[in-house]
Every structure is written in C-alpha cells, then in structure tokens.
Structure 1
Amino acid sequence: MTDSSRLAKRVLLIGWDAADWKLIDKYMAEGSMPYMKQFLERGSRGNLATLQPVLSPMLWNSIGTGKRSYKHGIHGFTEPMPDGKGIRPSSSTTRKCKALWNIFTQEGMTSNVVSWFVGHPAEPIKGVCVSEMFRSVPIDKKDPQSTELPELPPQSVHPESMRDELAELRLHPGELTEAEILPFIPNAAKIKQSKDRRLQSFAKLFSEMINTHNAATHLMENTDWDFMGVYVDAIDHFGHGFMEYHPPRMEHISEADFEIYQDIIAGVYKFHDLMLGRMMALAGEDTTIVLCSDHGYHSDHLRPKETPKEPAGPAVWHRDQGIIAMAGPGVKQGETIVGANLLDIAPTILNLLGLPAAKDMDGKALTQAIGAPGWSPPELIESWEDVPGESGMHPRDKQEDPFAAREALKQLVELGYIEEPDPDAEKAAKQASREAKFNVARSYMEGGLLDEASKRLEELFEAEPDQPRFGVALLRVYMRQSRFDEVRPLAEKLLGEMEKVNTSKADRIDDAIKAIEEKPEKIIANAEEQMEEAYQKRVEAEKTAAKDEDREPVEIERPAVKIDEESLGNRKQKLQTAVEQIRGFDIRSIPTVNMLLGRLEAIDGNLEKSLEHLNKAEKAEPRLPGLHLQLGQTYLRMRRNESAIRAFQKALDIDSDNASAHEGLAAALQRLKRNDEALDHALTAVELVHDMPRAHLRLGVTLVRLKHFEQAVQAFETCLKLAPMTGAAHRYLAMIFRNHLDQPELAEKHRAELRRVQKKRKKDKTIAQQKSFAENPPHQLAPGPTGIYPASNPEEIITIVSGLPRTGTSVMMQMLAAGGIEPLSDGNREADESNPRGYYEYDKAIQLASDSSWVGDAKGKVVKIVAQLLPNLPDFIDGKIARYRIVFMDRDLDEVVASQHTMLSKQGKKGADLDADKLKETYASQLDSVQHMLAERRISWVQIKHADVISNPEQVAEELNQGFGGHLDVQEMVQVVDPTLYRERT
C-alpha cells in the first residue's frame, strides 16, 4: 500500500516526556542547547496540545496509534492481572489496535522501537523492539555496593538474538562517578546519604536515561530501519523528583535543599540536548526527525504547592501544552505548527512514509508543516485494523511474568505515580479497575462521547460517593449535556457526601479521645501490640523478598518509640484541636466548592449570586486554576465587558497558554468593537487548541466584523469539520454567501443544513453530543442564553416575532396566537386594506429604544418587535436573565421595498429619501448587524421565509410546533394563512 509520493526516506520519532518550550527556549537563549537550535533552524516547531487525562501511559499510546484511550485500550499505569490475581503495570498485550510499528511491519518496513511506554513485553515486529523494562537496573539488596548488571527481564527484547548484545550497554547506578554527578549537583558532597536518599534516586534516573540512549544509538548505528521510535522519560521523572527545587525557590523548600538540588533540571535539559545532537549525527540529514512531548511541565509560578494524595496525583504538575518540532526531508522550513495535538503524530508519520492515515484515527496529518512540490496526502482508508497481514502484535491472552510485573510496580510506586498496591490481591485489582474506568470516562468526555462518559461516572459515584472527584467529573458531563435539572441535586448530594466524610472523621476522633480518657492502659497495650505486629510483618516481608531474590535477609530495626501516659496526653490534645477544626469547618467555604456553587447559580440565571461565590473563591485563593476564566465568562453573560476583559487577562497572566481565556477575551473585545485585538486572541486560541469549535466560531465572527469574508468562511468551515451540528456556523455561512460573496447556491446549501440541524436537535431531547457554546448555537430554536431551552417553564419565555416591516410579521403573529400563545397587543392599530386581519401590535414595543421596562409583561406571550429595535432588548428582567426566542421573518428585499412603497402610497406618505437599491442595501446591512448581535448575546432564534408561510403553511406550522415543544395547535395555525394576501411578488 506504500504510496509513490513518500516524502521521507526514513523517520526518527523521539519522545521526550514532559519537555516544555518554556525551559527549552530559556536554555537555547542562554546558549546551553546548541543542537536543539540547529535542529529548529532546519525545520518547523509548535505547541502540541495534550489529551485528558494527562497520564503518560495513555498519552504515549495515543501518540503511537493516533487514537484516544477508549479506542487503544490503555487506561492508566496499572491493570488487573489477566488471571485476576492482583495487578501489573499496563501491558503491551492490552493495547487493542495497531501502533505505527505494527502498520510498518505489515507493510514490509523495518522498525526499531526503544522503551516506548507500555511496551512490555516486547512486540514481535519486523525490526527490533526494546521494552521499557530494559532501562531499569535494580540495586542488589544482597550486595548494595555491587555494580554487576543483572540479567534482563524475560521478553524485554525482540528478537531474542539481540538480548545479550543490548544487555551489555546498560549502566549500573553504582557506576556513576563525580564526573557524571557534579554537573547536575555541584554541591553533592554536602548530602548526608545515610539520611537523604535523593542522590540514589538521581543515580537511578540517570542510569535509566543513559540506558535508553545507549540502546537507541546502538540500533541506529548498527541496523537498517525505516522507522525508529525512542521514548525517553527522564525529564518527567526528574521533574517529579526535583522540579520543586528548580529556581526560583518555592516557599516550602529549605535554603539548604535548594542550594544542593537547584541545578538538576537545567542539567537534564542540557544533557538531552547532547543526546539529540548524537542522534542527529547518526541519523544524517536524509532522515526526517520528529521530536515531541506528551505534555509540558510547570517550572515557574504555576508549580503546585502540594501534590494531591490520590491516584495519579502527580499529574497536577503537568502542563497542557507539550512540544512538537520536525526537520528533514518532507518538512517545511520555518513554519509555525499551529493547532496540533498528540493524535496528529501518527497520521503525520504515516504520510511522511507514503502511507495513508485512517478514518478511525482521531488525529490528522500535519500537512501545514510537511509536503513537497506537487505532493498531496494519500487518500484516507477506513481503518488499518481491517488491513490483513502479520503486524507483529501480541496475542491478547499472553501472560506476563509476575516477578517482572512486581519489580516494575515498585518503580511506579517509588516515582509517586501510584499508591502502594494493597496486599489483598482482589482489592488491588478492583482499585486498578476503578481507576481505569475513571480514566476512560474522562477520555470519552474529551472525545465528546458524553453518554459513555456519564454512564461510567454514574456507576463510579454510586459505588463510591465519598470520592468527590467522581462526582465533580459527573457534574461537568451533565453540564455539557445540558442536563441542568440534574446538576443541582447532584451537586447537593456531592456536598452532602463531603460533609458526611468530615462528620464521620470527627466522630472517629471523638471516639479516640473518649478511649484515651476512659481506658489509657488499654490504648497503650493495643498500640504496643500493633507496633509489634507491624514490625513482624516487615520482617516477614523482607524474608520473602530475600528468598525470591536468592539473598540473605536484611536485619529490620525495631522502632524505638515509647508510649506512656505523657505521650498519650499530648496525643489527646492534638486530637482535640483537630476535631474542633473539622467540626468548625464549612465545606461550602472551600474555593473550589464556591466555584461549583457559582456555576450552579449561573445555570439558574442568578448571575449576581454566582459572582458572590466566585468573589469568595478569589479572595481565598486568587490564583486558583480556572477561577478567572469562570469569572470572565460570568461577566460576559452580564454584558460587563470591561470586567470580563480584566478577568480573562488575569487568567492569561497566570497561564498565557490558556486557549479558553484567549477565546473569551476575543468575545469581550469584539463586543467593544476592538476587532483587531479580538482577532489576535481568537487566532491564538485556535493555534493553541485546534479542536475547539467555539474558538473557530469566534474567529469567524471576528473576521466577518472586519469584512474578511473569505477567511471567515475558512474559520466557519473548520468549526463545522470539528462540530458538524454547529448551526451558528451554517447561519453565518449562509449570510456570507448570500450577501457578500454572491454564491446563492452555497447560501441555500447552508440554509438547508441549518434546517437539518434544527430538526435533528428537536428530536434529540438530551442534546447528548453538544460541545459547549459552539455545538449549542445561539441563533436557532435551541438552548438560549442560560444554556437550557426553557420549555419546562413557558411562563418565563418571551416569544418575539421580528423582521422588517412587510415581511409577514403580522401573519406570523396570527399563526402563533391561533396556535395557543397569547399575543401582547393593545389593539390600537386597526386592520386596514394593507393588513385586513390586523397588525397585532403593541405601542410600547415601538418605544423599546427609550423604554424597556414593559418587556417583562411579555413573559409567556408573543409580541411583535421590528428587527432594528432588537438590540435594545434588556439582558435581565427582575434581576434574572431574560429568556427570549425569536421568530425572524425573511422576505425577498425587492418584495419588501415594493410592499412598503405600496403601503405608504395608500397612506399618502413618502417614506425614505432613498432609491430602492440604496434602501435594500441599507436594510441588508441592518439585518446583518442584528444577526451579529443575536449571535453575541446567544439569543435563540429561527428564520422563516415569508414565501414558505404562504406556499406551505403546514410545514412551517409543524416546524414551529416542534421547536416550541409540541404545544401549538398546528391546524388552527394553518387556517389563519390567506394566500390571497401575498400581493407583492418578484
């Protein structure tokens, strides 16, 4: 299947886990990463957006396959053993789809893969596969001073014939000398190694980095290959161990520790530059090199003060933007790669080697950065899973050596990625399954499969309601699904569970205090007994480990802890202080809880109350992630645009790569007609996160404002590729093609698509697939400004019939009144020859520009308002968000002008001092402006053609009935339409 338009002779993919442009650019500017500078001068670079959850096993398998976690099957660091007896590190046998090296094997190409995350056991591909088990060299507990290399774990190298050759390339941690250590830790002599084991940790990580590099460069130099994939985890692992010591000093780090360990991270980056230089030299200029990271790593003021004590807690250190850089044949020079994410790596490499990407891949080839004169990407195939042939994948039922699994688990525990497995194997397996289920739910959530996500999260939260993270994730899914009736009850349940946990904790402490007071002797005896049991368990565990490792057991020291009445009294005092703090603590005062409460109030339209909660959160924790973004979004809804700008700017001061903050800032600036500034931020948003439909929608709207209509079309079309149900994009495209680009066929195509979207949305009561604002467009009969279509409370809805005069607004008022909606009309304007059935007008509506106090009287009714006055509709009525739905009448402008002229002539009036063409042009401009306003304010509306009302009133009435919740009398609506009144035709 190899395409003749192969761009690259061969491809080297280098993965640097957690590499971040912030530090790379810093060290390049200092002259400390010269090889990286050379590499970038030859090619292109950009940000690489990560996926959720930000867990490396899932991410690197997405890089290797081009698919999300719920497709490739790797859901975390651990998984239950196939036999159900305990857990093991996630295994390559678990991956459900082909990775790049499997596709290349199938196509007859040769691949070398070194240390890929979740690469054990090594796969039987065409080429050489070295699993991640290769790099780790455990210390001999029997003889800790020994630097003898142990045997490689079974199945860590394929083919087996390469095993001994590669095994000799490993470096033992004990072999490190001052020459290797001092560039990273100049003050290493100050470390008291008997108490401080951080130097041993450094040596272990350093040797693993070297071992990966040695295996990779050996294979590059001594084998033939088409593709080479090398994964280096050192930046991430050194980061988890030592980033808190990186300058500037964090508050909780002592001056002494900072002095010793502050240079490690810089040293690691500089050493990676040396490794890159060696690989570039071995690869040669005829090799295309792709360098990427799965996420960034906080190295500045965004470093967390503490790591959450929960599974995968260390991921809080990860930044959402990783790196991508490419150079060599087939790569354009000097390009800035925009909108890329991890899923794009695999399709891009397939194209470089002349192979097509597949439709079932979630990523796209980065054709903006690759190509050659006359080249076009190979046509997509359905799926590489359907292509027959030996691919070098494992049989699914293959077992892993339990000892190797145990050793690998120890490493993950030591790195802080997972908790110590429970000795109860069944419980440990259950915990691993729980975490995998949570992780795949989050993957479904990001992929837009919200039903799949909510189903799993509901099961998790029901089973363990004392786990707030499950409830919080479920709340987010419910909000994206617009299941707002369920959000507040769930939030209250979540808060109740959190309060129960606190109460239970306080009760247990009270019981402990009571026991100390009533039976101190028994407490002392029980404590001594428990200490002895714990000591004996440690002794037995050491004996078992020594037997497994064929060595003498190490003597375990008995703890020298004295328990007496004095120490018991001190313990009681501490417990009393703790219980007072717990019982006096209000869960609802937690900043993150206030953010949640603020969101709930915003859903109900109580924006002032929402702000109260958010301001409390800001006062308690002003740098809380997401807080200023939520504040900005709330201010936007309140039309407090200057306040919104300040909030979004604060969010960007904290994290300049926050795409949602850039998009929100663009919205606020756009409202203030600062369109050039809005354009800059809208562009930045889509560059940072390409897969954000609302950002492309915002970009398109901004370009329309600037009259860049061709570019706006591109933005709206990109939005539709990402979210085909975005009615707003169809609406704008129809308007652009009709009014500005003179392409009526395309205009009609998008109007037809809009009608199709509208019909589909009416049938989908749960709106399960919507993605935020972009997939919940503001200008159709769909969820309005609160994000929920208010059909459950029709008395709150204000229905408006609008359009230009003589577009059929009166007949539409008659239809809706006949259908069962009470008209707000004073009857002051009587029927006449131009409108023999009456006008259904309300005098106060004509005064809307100067007085809007009456609008609340229209709740539950329908009122007619001319289009030009719609921008004067108030956002709030009685302190709550006003809920509008607008039926916008559309009629050919030639007919409108002619009909208005006839009506004015009958009344003996002259009208506008404009010729017909100029009047039509003015009306068209005014209608465009009104439509932009409706889009910005997220007011729901539907456009109805006057001609359709006359020629097919049954269809129009039925469509309106569906959009209004099925409560209209369609037959009565049809009866009021009189076709003989359609007199001015073109």
Structure 2
Amino acid sequence: MDKAKFSNYFYSMAVNPKHTIGFLAGGYRNVAQIKGVPVPDLSNSERGEKASSLLVGWDAADWEVIKPLMREGKMPVFTEFNHGSVQANLATLDPPISPMLWSSVATSTWPSAHGIHGFTEINDGTVRAVRGSSLMQPTFWEYLEDNGVPVSTVGWWPSHPAEYSRYGGLRISNLAASEDLKWIADGVSPESHQKILASLILQPEDLNPSIIASFFPNQDINSSDDVVRSVLKITLHAINVHTMATYALDHCKGGHVSVYYDALDHFKHLGMKYMPPRLKGINTQDFDRYKFIIESAYRLHDLFLGKLLEGLHKDGHAIVMSDHGFKNGLDRLAVLPNHAGAPALEHRHYGIFAARGPRVKIEVPPSGMNLLDVAPVVLAMYGLVKPISMQGLVPPGMMEEPDRLIERLTGASPNRHESVEGDSVLLESLVALGYLEEKHLVNKEGRLLENIYYLARSLRAEGRSERAWQILSGLNIDEKSPMRYQQLAASLLAESAQYEELDKLLSGIQEFPEVFIWEYYKSLIQIYRGSTLSIPKGLFETEESHELVLWGKLLSKADRLNDLGKLLAGKTLNIPDTLNLRLKLELAQNRWEDALETALESTALRYHQPNIHGALAVIFKKLNMPSESYSARVLQLKMMGIQGSEAPLFIVSGPPRSGTSMAMQLLAAAGVGLVTDNIRQKDKFNARGYFEHNKVKDWDLDENWLSLQRGKALKIVEPLLLSAPLPRGLKVIVCMRRSLGSLLQSQRSMSGRESAPLGWDEQQLWLDYQEKTEVQISMDPHAILIELNFEDIIHAVETNELSQSLQAAFKALSKHTPKTVDISVLKAVVEPQLRRF
C-alpha cells in the first residue's frame, strides 16, 4: 500500500455512522453503500441457493487465544457455533508455510505430491508469487464437482488464476481482493462478476479512522504510527476478502463454499508481542497502546463468521479451522532473528478445528487430527469415500460412515491465460513481512533457495530423510550457508545414517548454538566408528523437546533404558515423540495402566500412529479389555492400509545358543534363501556354520535394507531384534526356545566359563527378553510369530515323532515356505550328535 495515500485522509472526511467495523462486516451490500455502487436486489430466480457446506479458514487461529475470549463473551458467534459442533486440535505440517499448508488441506497430500513448495515459483525464468495452477494433485473441490456438487472458493492461498466451475460456483482467487485491481481479470470466474467485484474493492481513502478504533480503545489514531498503518492495511484487505465471500454466498448455486482469511496471521505477526501479559523487552507505552490488537482481530473474524453462516442452509455442514496456531504467553518472541522465514518461528504446532452438521457426531471429540484429514472430512459430509490418493483420514466415530465412491475425474478445468503483471509488488510484500530474503531468493542456477529448503523440511516431516538430503544437498551446504540450512543438513544426514558426510559437515562449522544437538551428532559419528555412547554433562537437566527426542531415541536404540528414564524424569512431555519414549519405558517395565494413559495421550495429539494403536491393542489385552484390544487392532490395520503381495521377510531369532543356526538350515531346506556374509566361519560349536550377516549388528541398520531381503531368511538374535527397524509388510519371525538351564550351560561352554556360577538374575534376563520380544511382535499385525522348541526338535529327530506344538509350528511355517516343512526336512538338517554345551 502506498504510504502517500495515508497522509491526511483520516482527517479529510466527516465521520459517518456507516464507517464502523460492524457495518462493513455485514457484507458486500453494506460496502456498496459506502462506495456508492448500485447493487440490485436479487429476485428469487437470481438468488443462488444457500450453501450446503461451508469451510472457513482462519490463518493462525489458536484455541489458547479463542477460549479466553469466548469465556469473556467476546466471540458470541463462534461460541454459539461451538455449542453444536465437535472441536479438536488440528496438527500442522512442517514447515508451517501457508501456501504449502493450505494446498495440503485442499488436496490431502504432502507438498512433495501437490507441488507447492513455498511462497514463490519460477515461470519462464521469472520469479513470481506461487499459483494455484501449479497444483499437481486434484483438490477436494474437483472431486465434489465431479460428483455433482457446485463449489465456490474465495481467497484460498494459492488459487490464482481462478478455476472454472462447471456447476455455477464462483471462484475468486487469493489475488483478486488486492487493492490494486490488477488481478481481477484472471482472479474471478465467471467473468460476468468481475466488473461488480472490482467496483466493491475498498481503497484506503474509502475508510474513516473509526474503522479501526476498536483496535486502539481510548487512543488517538495517529496516521504517522507504523503499527496503526499496518492495522488499517490488514483490516482493509480482510474486509475486501469478506466482501467477496458474502457476494459469492449470495450468487453461487449452493453446494460447497470455502473461504480463506489470512488476516489473523498478519495481525498476530504484528501485534502478538503486545498482547497481555507484557513481555520483557516491550516498553509500557507500546504495550498500553497496542495490547488490544489481537483481541479486536478475533472479534472482527467473529463478525465475519456470523455473516457467512447466514448464507449456509439450515441443514448444512460447516467447518472453522486454521492451518497452525501461534505462540502465546511467555513462549512469544519479542524479537525475531534476521533471516527469511523467521516469522514461522512464531507459529505453534496446533491450530483449531470445529465442525457441525447432520452427519457430524459431536458425542466423542476427535483426537490427533492433522491438516491432511480436513478434505476427507468434507467429502464425508456428502457421503463420499475419500479417494486413495488422499493421505488423510476421517477420524473414527466423528462422521456417519460415507457410502458413495468418488466418481473419476472428468478432466481438468479449461486453461486460463493470465497476466504476470504485478508479481514484483507481491514479492516485495513477502520480503517486507520477513517470509522471503531478497539476497537468498534465487541462486546462480535459477533455483529458489527457500523452496528447496522448505521442500527438504517437508520431506523430512513426511519421513523421507534420504530424499530430503538429495534435495537439500543441491544447495552445497557449507560453513557459509545460513545456519538453518546447516541444521537441517545435519539432521538429515544423521537420520539417513550418512555419518561420513555428517562428519565433513560438522568439521566445517565453527559454532553451533544448541550444544546438546551438536553433541548428539558427534556421538552418532563416534558410535559409528566403534566408540561407546557417552552422555554429555548436563543432558539430564535439559527441558528442550527436540533435545529430549533426539537423545531419547538414541538411548532407546542403545538399550540404555535407565538413562532414558533419567532423561525424561520430571519433564513436561506434551508432544507425541516424547510421550512415545515414555511409552517405551512403561512397556518395558510392564506398567500397563501407565502405558495406556501415555498411549492415549499420544494418539490424542497425533492420531495417525499405527504403531501406537498396535501398542494399545497389546495394552488393552494385558488389561483384560478384549473388545478395546480388537478395536485398536482394526484401527491399526485400517491406518496401515492394504499390504502388498510381496514375499515375506523371514527372521530367525532367539537367544544365542538356542538353535538359531539350526533354524536357518531348516528354512534353507524348505527352499528359503539365506542372507549371510560368511564372515563368521564354522567352528567346533557350530560345525555347519553360523549363517549370520554382520549388517544386523551395525548401528546404521535401516528399514530399507531389511525390506530388500524379502523372500529370504536373516538371523537377528533376540537382544538385537528389539531395536531392529523392521519394515512394513509380512514378516515370518521364527523364534527358537530352549530350556534356560541348557541355554546358559551352552553359552558358558562356548565362552570357556563352564565352571562359572550362575548370576542371580541371568535366567530372569532371558525371560525378560523373551517377553519383550513377544510384546513387540504382537504390536505388528503383519508379523507372524512361530516358536520352535530346541528340545522338541532333537527329540523328533531321535524318535521320528513330532510333538503337537512342533506339528502346529511346521504347519504355520509351511504356509509361507516354498517346500513343506516336515520330519523329513528336519532330519536332513539336524544331527543330534553335533549338539554342544
């Protein structure tokens, strides 16, 4: 906005009763009165049907601010809305960059799939603001229209140029409400609405200073105050978006309407630091002058919501949501670091979600929702089953079960040619807001640096660290790179077990602000090179969640559960990753009731965690709650989806000297290939060999390598199996069992300690390992546990008779092996005379 337009216009007009924020929140007809634009009354035939569903997006809305305002009666519309709705926290995705997030909401896919990777994109060698036409996945709006539901959208970021609606919906892009009017031609569809909407766009000179009086109660409105100017600019744009939204609701052909307001996010980046209580670093004068900005911003959106709901059918569905929250209280930042994307540091992980309507069940609040779940919920409001491409879920029990399959897409919307004029102004605005850094916008190869960084972060959040590193490494990270690039690079190299590359990166960086994170990376390298894990001084006192997560996972992998307990002791664990670490401790200690509470708390924060629902299935069973156990297992299977028909991964386990080498030979005789490296040679204790592969002992053993061994058998002895990253899909786990006296005697014989007395806890140690193994395997619905008893096998070979348990085990095993496992196969591989103690 041109500063010159603000000079003295506050004082150049008489105060008009219509120049109030409440009047303008009343919609496009009220704005038309101020603008002097004739807007004819619509006849019954001209007036569109009321919307059957409404989705309202408030960028950065947060329950921590909303709930106190509701209690104080300052958001009456939203309070009434909530009385008949179901509410939930809505987890964001990383990074919390609005165009990426709202595109994930629309498509129910991660950015790696939908193709929006930042605020900008390159088109024909020119940097421009990101476009909705760059989306690479269908949106829920397209699916709705393909199933006969008209769809209107207003302001969605990004949605320019405006798409065409086949059923009479209005499409108004995120750029169409700009005050410079350059985007109307490509930003409004159908074209017949462009002229009237352009005439309704408010300009700064159209408003009286009283419009923002509620933001500065008992204060003079000072036109030279930059904060005042910013409040007016944000408010002006919010009203223009709202004007278009109310117009769309009046003129669309019913169906679904999505409206997005970005104003709350801008208000918060401007004024959250002034909200009570006063932050250290904010002087008293500024605090008193600006402390009502956030409250007034929310009350403005409450007014907007009231008008939007008038356009909703009485039996319609409605959702109010945000893409992320905003740090509140003492977590707020008075000063941001000076780098691109710094404003995102103020965002909080959880936004808001509230939904109501005939198909919404409000009895049980949903838990663990994230942005990917919104589109499936909207489709379910029309009884439509989400397509397989959508990665979100409808929370169980929240909606009536959808029963209509999505019709196939009939094709893309007609191509629209757009002007690129005006992008420079938009980019300057993003730089001014702190989301872009001009000097780091494009590198010499013409790539958008921040977009690469954002995509790598998103891939990491998606669980694809190796691919994220492939993307990020193109930026040639070194000591001159921005610190946030270095930090991400280190985390990706650590997660993808590229320790030599990690060492090279660390050696070139002189200073790192987070000492325990740096010590963590150094520890990984030392362990990789054969050193033992050492714990840095002061680690157990840290309160930082990301440090607890990294070190907690490391201690867990190293089976240092006592140290893990010390790390977590007395800490506030309020994110799923830290709660899951506590859950592992409680499971290992058979503290089933505590484990139940922790697992439920974790899934309430992040619902889509198949492994935790698997843990719940086991916990419920241990607590004698069979129906709940069954429900948890069904839910886990649903989340894991249909497994492929690939060959199973055979794993032979059990304590050392329990007969694991004999089990490997048995599988080989049944036609299963063995994964061995022949490094450990046969000896007098195993005359036929050990059939091992050293990779299973490596610190960097990963799921991908194990998955490549499908169709073959691999030995992973029982202590190592507990920490092995087993892949998804079918696994046949053959566990050898042997009487403890015989087992321990054989272990002593092999180590040359035949006469050494038994330790008081040695037998219990192996019993504990056996129980932990059984619990862990039972959490995975695609893992089949088959136990073979060593003594039963020896007896069968000597007597030519199989025990009942051995018969049952061989029958289960034969379902997956190329050849039937029977007594003849057994006798071909077992020689009792080779038995050693």
Match of 2:33 in 1: none
Match of 1:160 in 2: 191
Match of 1:96 in 2: 136
Task: Find 2:537's aligned residue among 612, 616, 620.
Answer: 612
Distance in 2 of aligned mates of 1:975 and 1:269: 78
1:277 is displaced (CA, Å) by 1.8
Structure 1 stretch displaced more, 46-55 or 696-705 = 696-705
Distance in 1 of aligned mates of 2:201 and 2:344: 29
Match of 2:446 in 1: 430
Task: Find 1:59's aligned residue among 101, 123, 141.
Answer: 101
Alpha-carbon spacing, 1:710–1:454, altered in 2? closer, same or farther (3 Å): farther
TM normalised by structure 1 equals 0.63
Distance in 1 of aligned mates of 2:176 and 2:673: 54
Counterpart of 2:410, as a letter, is P
Match of 2:410 in 1: 388
Deviations 1:961-981 (A, max 9, x none): xxxxxxxxxxx9997604899
1:367 is displaced (CA, Å) by 4.9
Alignment of 1:908-923 (within 5 A): none
Alpha-carbon spacing, 1:714–1:841, altered in 2? closer, same or farther (3 Å): farther
Match of 1:339 in 2: 368
Alpha-carbon spacing, 1:175–1:947, altered in 2? closer, same or farther (3 Å): closer
Distance in 2 of aligned mates of 1:634 and 1:282: 54
CA contact (8 A) 1:663 1:681 kept: yes
Describe the SS at the equivalent of 1:182.
helix
CA contact (8 A) 2:478 2:486 kept: no
1:889 is displaced (CA, Å) by 8.6
Distance in 1 of aligned mates of 2:112 and 2:771: 48
Counterpart of 2:143, as a letter, is I
Task: Find 2:502's aligned residue among 491, 495, 499.
Answer: 491
Match of 2:88 in 1: 46
Alpha-carbon spacing, 1:976–1:100, altered in 2? closer, same or farther (3 Å): closer
1:789 is displaced (CA, Å) by 8.7
Describe the SS at the equivalent of 2:259.
strand
Counterpart of 2:404, as a letter, is P
1:83 is displaced (CA, Å) by 1.5
Deviations 1:350-389 (A, max 9, x none): 2222433211111123452111xxx5433467xx5xx324
CA contact (8 A) 1:693 1:722 kept: yes
Counterpart of 2:759, as a letter, is L
Alpha-carbon spacing, 1:208–1:95, altered in 2? closer, same or farther (3 Å): same
Deviations 1:54-79 (A, max 9, x none): 11101101111112111111111001
Say yes or no: does 1:702 pair with 2:619. yes
Alpha-carbon spacing, 1:334–1:428, altered in 2? closer, same or farther (3 Å): farther
Task: Find 1:660's aligned residue among 555, 577, 580.
Answer: 577
Counterpart of 2:453, as a letter, is F
CA contact (8 A) 2:555 2:561 kept: yes
Say yes or no: does 1:419 pair with 2:461. no
Say yes or no: does 1:123 pair with 2:144. no
Distance in 2 of aligned mates of 1:783 and 1:458: 36
Alpha-carbon spacing, 1:950–1:427, altered in 2? closer, same or farther (3 Å): closer
CA contact (8 A) 1:663 1:698 kept: no
Distance in 2 of aligned mates of 1:726 and 1:602: 35
CA contact (8 A) 1:466 1:497 kept: no
Match of 2:830 in 1: 977
Distance in 2 of aligned mates of 1:809 and 1:725: 40
Distance in 1 of aligned mates of 2:78 and 2:322: 14
1:288 is displaced (CA, Å) by 0.5
Say yes or no: does 1:112 pair with 2:152. yes
Match of 1:325 in 2: 354
TM normalised by structure 2 equals 0.73
Task: Find 2:547's aligned residue among 627, 634, 653.
Answer: 627
Match of 2:312 in 1: 283
Task: Find 1:805's aligned residue among 716, 739, 744.
Answer: 739
Percent identity over the alignment is 26
Match of 2:391 in 1: 362
Match of 1:199 in 2: 228
Counterpart of 1:36, as a letter, is F
Describe the SS at the equivalent of 1:112.
strand
Say yes or no: does 1:767 pair with 2:703. yes
CA contact (8 A) 1:46 1:323 kept: yes
CA contact (8 A) 1:604 1:786 kept: no
1:788 is displaced (CA, Å) by 6.8
Distance in 1 of aligned mates of 2:342 and 2:643: 36
1:683 is displaced (CA, Å) by 0.5
Say yes or no: does 1:180 pair with 2:180. no
Distance in 1 of aligned mates of 2:512 and 2:396: 50
Counterpart of 1:66, as a letter, is S
Task: Find 1:269's aligned residue among 293, 298, 301.
Answer: 298
| Structure having the higher Rg | 1
Higher-helix-fraction structure: 1
Distance in 2 of aligned mates of 1:955 and 1:403: 66
1:452 is displaced (CA, Å) by 2.7
Alpha-carbon spacing, 1:431–1:464, altered in 2? closer, same or farther (3 Å): farther
Distance in 1 of aligned mates of 2:421 and 2:464: 38
1:686 is displaced (CA, Å) by 1.0
* Unaligned 5+ runs, structure 2: 1-49, 649-666, 677-691, 708-713, 727-733, 773-784
Match of 1:189 in 2: 220
Match of 2:687 in 1: none
Say yes or no: does 1:298 pair with 2:327. yes
Match of 1:890 in 2: 787
Distance in 1 of aligned mates of 2:335 and 2:145: 45
Counterpart of 1:593, as a letter, is W
* Unaligned 5+ runs, structure 1: 1-7, 139-149, 500-585, 732-750, 772-777, 791-799, 814-822, 828-839, 853-864, 874-887, 903-919, 925-943, 960-971
Say yes or no: does 1:29 pair with 2:71. yes
CA contact (8 A) 1:421 1:428 kept: no
Distance in 1 of aligned mates of 2:453 and 2:257: 33
Task: Find 2:270's aligned residue among 241, 245, 250.
Answer: 241
Distance in 1 of aligned mates of 2:218 and 2:482: 43
Distance in 2 of aligned mates of 1:376 and 1:951: 39
CA contact (8 A) 1:9 1:353 kept: no
CA contact (8 A) 1:597 1:613 kept: no
Match of 1:826 in 2: 749
Matched residues, number = 707
Distance in 1 of aligned mates of 2:76 and 2:672: 56
Alpha-carbon spacing, 1:497–1:645, altered in 2? closer, same or farther (3 Å): closer
Match of 1:571 in 2: none
Alpha-carbon spacing, 1:806–1:203, altered in 2? closer, same or farther (3 Å): closer
Task: Find 2:419's aligned residue among 378, 384, 401.
Answer: 401
Counterpart of 1:201, as a letter, is S
Say yes or no: does 1:868 pair with 2:767. yes
Say yes or no: does 1:377 pair with 2:403. yes
Alpha-carbon spacing, 1:280–1:889, altered in 2? closer, same or farther (3 Å): closer
CA contact (8 A) 2:53 2:312 kept: no
1:498 is displaced (CA, Å) by 2.0
Task: Find 1:691's aligned residue among 608, 611, 632.
Answer: 608
Alpha-carbon spacing, 1:872–1:72, altered in 2? closer, same or farther (3 Å): closer
Distance in 1 of aligned mates of 2:599 and 2:442: 51
Match of 1:734 in 2: none
Describe the SS at the equivalent of 1:285.
strand
Describe the SS at the equivalent of 1:46.
strand
CA contact (8 A) 2:143 2:406 kept: no
CA contact (8 A) 2:87 2:354 kept: yes
Task: Find 2:57's aligned residue among 1, 12, 15.
Answer: 15
CA contact (8 A) 1:61 1:117 kept: yes
Counterpart of 2:131, as a letter, is S
State the Cα RMSD in Å.
Answer: 4.9
Match of 1:457 in 2: 472
Distance in 1 of aligned mates of 2:350 and 2:674: 36
Distance in 2 of aligned mates of 1:217 and 1:189: 32
Deviations 1:703-732 (A, max 9, x none): 3432334433443454455457999xxx9x
